[in-house]
Amino acid sequence: MSAPLQVRLPDAEATRAYGRALAGVLRAGDLVVLTGDLGAGKTTLTQGLGEGLQVRGQVASPTFIIAREHPPLTRADGTRGPALVHVDAYRLGSLDEVDALDLDSSLDESVTVVEWGEGWVEGLAADRLELALRRPRGASDGIGVDEAFAAGEDPSAGERVLVVTPVGARWAGVGLPGQDEVAG
């Protein structure tokens, strides 16, 4: 396992741009696990991944659908990358519903990105890229959206810190975006 990597993301566009850059190292079969409070930027980063992978459709926060597949578009050079399967398990009721998602083929053939997967996604794949997003500053450090409102802050504004933890042999020696930044 490689060392965790810490990246500062000053605004939402930086978060999307990180997703676009990360798409460059992803291939079919990869699993990306996103953690962080509501509003931390998980879907925003996934939107960048979708742009970088060049897949069809807008990556969004699903209302009723827990998993959405975005098929690859044909790129300017005629090639097509992997599909993006975006899982937002926020409304997942039970672990039976995880089975019903039937992620096995996606985990083999697509890039699978999971929000709210803590506690069950770890069992799906030994190799995964764990991305943890948080709001770093002042009174809002580590608190959720409601607490930020209560503290008189705009919970949608501002910097995020992303910690990237590569897990498993897949990531050994893989150069990740932001690796040049000094952690701390």
Q: Kindly identify the residues of this chain, within the stretch 95-124, that bind Mg ion according to CB under 5 A.
A: 115
Say how many residues touch ligand ADP, by CB under 6 A: 20
From 60-68, 141-149, 161-169, 175-183, give the range in contact with Mg ion by CB under 5 A: 60-68
Q: Would you count residue 61 as binding Mg ion (CB under 5 A)?
A: yes
Q: Which is nearer to ligand ADP, 21 or 28 (CB)?
A: 21
Burial of 175 from C-beta contacts in 10 A (0-12 / 13-18 / 19+)? exposed
Selection from ligand ADP, Mg ion, none that 54 binds (CB < 5 to 8 A by kind) is none
Phi, psi of 150 (to 5 degrees): -60, -30
Q: Kindly identify the residues of this chain, within the stretch 17-56, that bind ligand ADP according to CB under 6 A.
A: 36, 38-44
CA distance 58 to 86: 11
CA distance 151 to 66: 32
SS3 47: helix
Give me the 149-178 binding string for ligand ADP, x by CB under 6 A, dash otherwise.
-------xxxxx------------------
Phi, psi of 146 (to 5 degrees): -60, -40
Phi, psi of 57 (to 5 degrees): 85, 160
Q: Would you count residue 137 as binding ligand ADP (CB under 6 A)?
A: no
Q: Would you count residue 16 as binding Mg ion (CB under 5 A)?
A: no
Using CB under 5 A as the criterion, which residues of the chain lie in contact with Mg ion when the complex forms? Answer: 42-43, 61, 115
